[in-house]
Amino acid sequence: MLTRQQIERVVAMALEEDAPHGDITSQTLVPATASATADLVAREPGVFSGGEVFAAAFTMLDPDVKVTIGTADGDLFLRGDVLASVSGSARSILQSERVALNLVQRMSGIATLTMTYVALVADTKARLVDTRKTTPGLRALERHAVRSGGGHNHRYSLSDAVMAKDNHLAVVRDNLGEALQQARRDLPHTTHIEVEVDRLEQLDEVLASGVVDTIMLDNFTLDDLRAGVAHIGDRAIVEASGNVNLETIRAIAQTGVDVISVGALTHSVRSLDLGLDMSVS
């Protein structure tokens, strides 16, 4: 759940970054008494995300600015649709415009791409999830956008679950089973344990520990994914990762994996083309 505190922290940072000493263009050219209205208009179709963030970019700078969000997060829209409207001080709207657009465009781009991926696995049991490959400082917003597009979230941070990846295994490779069992003894019973493997031969040692909740099959071929799913059975959740894109995800889902993690949802996304059409009132 995207909280108000998370929104305000990001928006405050962005507003300070964009106008550390005010908007000198608007202050110089635009009368202080001028009022304006503006519509957030879609230049292309997509999935909306970030309505509260868009509004906060205006109201945190100037509480007297009125923002009406006409499209809910997760809703589809078409080119030309008006997604939100803003009215109030022209100076305030102009100063907040870029921050509001930057954030809502990126979030809607993530939601749109996510929905495209979700559609490709809709009739399989695979759950589409994001990764920690997010823009520093924007993780809460980007992960909300993934949910807007119908996807799910992986662990939020390093503090949320044990996830032993290749570099961890390189350190404890001679005592992996023992290290996993000790982790289970030390951790609360509610803590999830996941282990990444990059070849089938690693599965037996991981399974023998008896404490692993999820096994990630990283960069496996389709044949090896099928073999891994069959070998693991119901002893752990099976996650596929690596080499996942719009061309490969359906075949990966059809191998029977439970989860597919896709870093591209957040690290390779294109911001959607949304514009703020403004008029002086």
Active site residues: 98, 133, 165, 196, 218
Rounded distance, CA 215 to CA 204, Å? 11
Q: Is 10 within 8 Å of 53 (Cβ atoms)? A: yes
Q: Are strands 162-164 and 127-129 parallel, antiparallel or unpaired?
A: unpaired
In the block, residue with structure tokens 């099928």? 226
Starting at the edge strand that comes first in sequence, how are the strands of the sheet with 259-261 ordered? Answer: 127-129, 259-261, 237-241, 214-218, 193-197, 162-164
Rounded distance, CA 107 to CA 1, Å? 15
Q: Is 248 within 8 Å of 271 (Cβ atoms)? A: no
What type of residue is 8?
E
- Take residue 2 and report the two structure tokens written for it: 């995207």
Q: Is 54 within 8 Å of 48 (Cβ atoms)? A: no
What spatial distance separates the first Cα and last Cα of the chain, rounded to whole Å?
37
Rounded distance, CA 171 to CA 162, Å? 15
- Take residue 232 and report the two structure tokens written for it: 């693991």
Q: Is 238 within 8 Å of 228 (Cβ atoms)? A: yes
Q: Is 104 within 8 Å of 77 (Cβ atoms)? A: no
With CA atoms as reference, report the closest residue to 112 among 251, 273, 4.
273
